[in-house]
Chains A and B, each alone.
Chain A
């Protein structure tokens, strides 16, 4: 499957989450699909672990920005409870 096909499928699931979850989001909003899929990255896949965490040397990569967005989401979601 090519990346644009995967992106297309992801967008379909994002718009129609019940296809995966089996749950109507209007009835139960406790399951959601995070809107930023993690793109395949050759740099991440081949990153040398001797350098520590990937984000320390790739500060503005897609992956790093998605991780920051996820951390913020977790704080917001758990803060709402």
Chain B
């Protein structure tokens, strides 16, 4: 499938070299703000190890499949989506959709982690499914990944047009960020991709020790 360029221009990914930078908080708020500005926003919780978007929105998704089911089930060709537009202020304008990630089912989370390690092809169906999903009048797709840059995150980066990298102002995070950016052109391919770095200031060490 060769999607038109406009489909890919909608994809924003939030990631970071290390954990605890506020990726999910950023993704949840940006999605909410854009939806309240009249946009249709699809938010994917791709943080397979520590998902939290449902917690941040304080919602339950009992009637919705998750990203894990999509990745684990070869027969599922569409990424599941919950309509959570009721959370927005002006429900008649923008829309807000969420693809949740399993948080409480440790067995299924473990299956997903194993599949990510053992199945080389698990990421291959992501682009086509995204392309199909984005056809549904979506203005922006925001992907909240887990920290790090291994294979599944690289699969998201490869279809990303606008990458937001979160980093703390610490020597380790800055060094890791620099190493990642040296590889930028190898994982964002051939489009007019943008990359914006956001910085989070951590709690003062002196206060932490108290």
Contacts and interface: CB of A to CB of B under 8 A. Distances in A.
Nearest to A8: B169
B43 interface: no
A1 B170 contact: yes
Contacts of B200: 37-38, 40
- The size class of the interface chain B forms with chain A is 35 or more
A55 B55 contact: no
Given A22-B181, A50-B58, A77 B194 contact: yes
Contacts of B195: 30-32
Q: Main SS of the interface on chain B?
A: mixed
Interface in A12-54: 13, 19-23, 30-34, 37-40, 44-45, 49-54
A45 B37 CA distance: 27
A65 B126 CA distance: 33
A52 B9 contact: no
Contact of B205 (A1, A32, A73): A1
Interface string B160-186: 011010000110001001100110100
Given A49-B55, A52-B58, A10 B30 contact: no
A19 B174 CA distance: 9
Interface string B173-210: 01001100110100000001111111111111110000
A2 B178 contact: no
Given A21-B181, A78-B9, A78-B162, A70 B202 contact: no
Contacts of A64: 29
10 contacts: A3-B204, A13-B199, A20-B181, A22-B178, A37-B201, A38-B201, A40-B204, A53-B32, A53-B56, A78-B161
Interface of A: 1-3, 6-7, 9-10, 13, 19-23, 30-34, 37-40, 44-45, 49-55, 64, 67-68, 70-71, 73-75, 77-78, 81
